[in-house]
C-alpha cells in the first residue's frame, strides 16, 4: 500500500488578547502616517512584555513592580497569536497565508510543502549584494524604522525584576534601545513575526552576542516546541539588511529536528556540539550548557566567526531554545557561478532557514503537486557545502571556540557522512583532544 499525503490545516485562533487599540476619531499625530520616525514616535504607546531572565541577582531589584501574578505559562503564545490574528482581521498582510495549501510529503523525513504563489510576487526584493555577508546599514533602503506602528505587536525587554511582566500600554523610549516584535506582512505561516533587536540603532543583518541571547529568551518564553526562530545572514537569503530574526508556529516536527547527530565537541561550559548525520545539508547542532548565556555565547561566537570569514549561514532555534542548528550554505554562490541546474532555478525557491529545515515554500502549483522527498533532498544537497569546505569551516569555528583537533587525527572525519548519498554507515575512529583557552573543550569523534 502506498503512502498517503497528509494535508495540514491551519487552525485559526480567536483574538483572546489584543491590546493595540486605535480610535479612528482621534486626531492624527505627527506626520499622520503613524510611523516609527521621530515625528510620530514620541506620543506612541505599545504593549511591553518583560521576559523572565536567568541568574537573577536579588540585589537592587524591587519585586513590588512585578506583575506576573495571574499570567498563564502560555501568555506569550496567546499574546503573539492574538495580536497577529487582530492584524490579520484588519487586513495588514499582503495575502491570506491561511489559504495556502500545505502537506507533509510521504517519506522517512516528512518534509513539509507549502504552495505560496503570492509571496514571491508581493515580497520585498533584495536590495543589496549577495556575495558579502557583512554590509553596512543603508538608511536609504527599506528598513524596519519605515514600517507603521500598527505592524508592531509589542516591545520585548528583560523584566525589571527578573519575573514576567506585562504592560498593555508602555511608551516607546528610543533612548532605552527597545526591542520589538512585528508582524511579517509576507508571512510563511500562521503567527509569522519578526524579532527586531534595538530597532532604532539600525543594526545591519549580523549576529552579535546581545541580540542572539535575546532571540533565545524569546524561544524560552514561548515554551512551545512548535514555535521556532530562524535567522538568515546576507548571502543566505536574508532580504532586508536590518538585524532581525523570524519566528512562526508549525505544529509538526521539522525534518532537520528528526535527523540523527553525532557529538564532536564539548565546551567547558557544558555546551555540546554535534554534526548532522543523514541530512542533505551539512551543519552543526549546539545544545546544553550550564546557563542560557553559555549556549548563546557558543553559537554567537561561531556565527561571528562565519561572518568575519564571509561565509553565508542560516540558524534555526528549536526545542524552546534548547537546540540550535548552524548551517553554512553556498546556494547563492553556486547560482552566481552557473552551477545550479535550470530545473532547480525554475522552481524559484530560495533556500533560507525554513527551507533548509525542511519546510519547503513552493511558488508553482506544478512543484507542489510533484513534491517528493527525493526532490526536496536534491534541492537541499545543492545548498550544502562540500565535504572538504565544510571541514574547513569546522576548523575555523573550533579555532574561534579555542577547540583544536589532535594532529594525529584526520580532521576530514568531521565532515562525514556525505550529504549527497543519504544515510551511510558510521565507520569513524574515536579520538579526543583537549585544550584550554577561552572555551576549554574536548573534541571527540
Active site residues: 244
Dist. CA 125–CA 241, nearest whole Å = 12
User: How far is the C-alpha of 277 from the C-alpha of 281, rounded, in Å?
Assistant: 9
Q: What does the longest C-alpha to C-alpha distance in the chain come to? A: 76
Torsion of CA 390, 394, 400, 401, to 10 degrees: 150
The DSSP secondary-structure symbol of 399 reads H
CB atoms within 10 A of CB 10: 16
Contact 226, 190 (CB under 8 A): no
- DSSP letter for 10, please: P
**Residue 234 gets which letter from DSSP?**
T
Angstrom distance (rounded) from CA 200 to CA 269: 33
| Residue in the structure block whose three cell numbers are 545591519 | 204
Neighbours of 173 (CB within 10 A): 12
E strand or H helix that includes residue 397: helix 387-400
97 DSSP 8-state letter: G
CA neighbor of 426 nearest in space, from 307, 225, 278, 303 = 278
**Is omega for the bond preceding 171 within 30 degrees of 0, making it cis?**
no
Neighbouring C-alpha atoms within 13 Å toward the C-beta of 66: 17
Give the separation between CA 295 and CA 212, rounded to whole angstroms. Answer: 10
The whole-angstrom separation of Cα 15 and Cα 13 is 6
Q: What end-to-end distance do the CA atoms of the chain give, in Å?
A: 40
Amino acid at each position: 500500500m502506498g503512502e498517503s499525503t497528509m494535508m495540514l490545516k491551519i487552525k485559526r485562533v480567536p483574538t483572546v488578547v489584543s491590546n493595540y487599540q486605535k480610535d479612528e476619531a482621534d486626531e492624527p499625530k505627527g506626520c499622520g502616517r503613524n510611523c516609527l520616525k521621530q515625528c510620530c514616535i514620541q506620543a506612541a504607546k505599545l504593549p511591553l512584555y518583560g521576559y523572565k531572565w536567568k541568574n537573577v541577582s536579588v540585589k537592587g531589584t524591587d519585586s513590588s513592580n512585578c506583575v506576573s501574578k495571574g499570567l498563564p505559562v502560555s501568555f506569550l503564545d496567546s499574546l503573539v497569536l492574538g495580536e497577529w490574528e487582530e492584524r490579520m482581521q484588519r487586513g495588514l498582510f499582503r495575502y491570506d497565508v491561511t489559504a495556502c495549501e500545505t502537506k507533509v510529503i510521504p517519506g522517512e523525513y516528512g518534509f513539509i510543502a507549502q504552495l505560496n504563489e503570492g509571496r514571491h510576487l508581493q515580497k520585498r526584493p533584495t536590495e543589496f549584494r549577495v556575495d558579502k555577508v557583512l554590509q553596512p546599514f543603508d538608511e536609504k533602503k527599506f528598513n524596519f524604522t519605515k514600517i507603521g506602528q500598527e505592524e508592531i505587536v509589542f516591545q520585548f525587554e528583560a523584566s525589571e525584576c527578573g519575573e514576567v511582566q506585562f504592560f498593555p500600554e508602555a511608551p516607546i523610549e528610543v533612548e532605552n534601545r527597545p526591542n520589538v516584535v512585528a508582524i511579517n506582512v509576507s508571512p510563511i505561516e500562521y503567527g509569522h513575526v519578526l524579532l527586531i533587536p534595538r530597532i532604532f540603532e539600525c543594526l545591519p543583518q549580523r549576529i552579535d552576542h546581545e541580540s542572539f541571547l535575546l532571540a533565545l529568551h524569546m524561544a524560552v518564553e514561548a515554551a512551545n516546541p512548535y514555535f521556532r526562530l530562524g535567522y538568515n545572514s546576507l548571502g543566505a537569503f536574508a532580504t532586508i539588511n536590518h538585524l532581525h530574526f523570524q519566528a512562526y508556529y508549525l505544529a509538526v516536527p521539522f525534518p532537520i529536528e528528526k535527523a540523527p547527530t553525532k557529538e564532536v565537541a564539548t565546551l567547558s561550559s557544558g555546551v555540546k556540539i554535534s554534526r548532522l548525520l543523514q541530512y542533505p545539508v551539512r551543519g552543526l547542532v549546539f545544545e546544553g550548557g550550564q546557563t542560557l548565556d553559555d549556549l548563546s555565547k557558543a553559537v554567537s561566537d561561531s556565527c561571528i566567526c562565519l561572518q568575519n570569514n564571509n561565509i553565508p549561514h542560516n540558524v534555526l532555534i528549536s526545542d524552546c531554545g534548547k537546540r540550535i542548528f548552524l548551517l553554512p550554505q553556498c546556494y547563492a554562490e553556486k547560482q552566481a557561478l552557473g552551477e545550479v541546474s535550470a530545473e532547480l532555478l525554475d522552481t524559484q525557491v530560495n533556500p533560507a532557514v525554513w527551507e533548509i529545515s525542511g519546510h519547503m515554500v513552493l511558488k508553482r502549483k506544478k512543484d507542489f503537486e510533484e513534491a517528493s522527498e527525493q526532490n526536496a533532498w536534491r534541492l537541499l544537497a545543492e545548498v550544502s557545502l562540500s565535504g572538504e569546505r565544510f571541514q574547513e569551516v569546522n576548523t575555523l569555528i573550533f579555532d574561534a571556540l579555542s577547540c583544536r583537533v589532535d594532529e594525529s587525527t584526520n580532521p576530514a572525519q568531521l565532515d562525514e557522512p556525505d550529504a549527497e548519498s543519504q544515510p551511510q554507515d558510521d565507520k569513524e575512529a574515536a579520538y579526543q583532544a583537549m585544550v584550554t583557552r577561552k572555551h576549554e573543550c574536548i573534541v571527540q569523534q
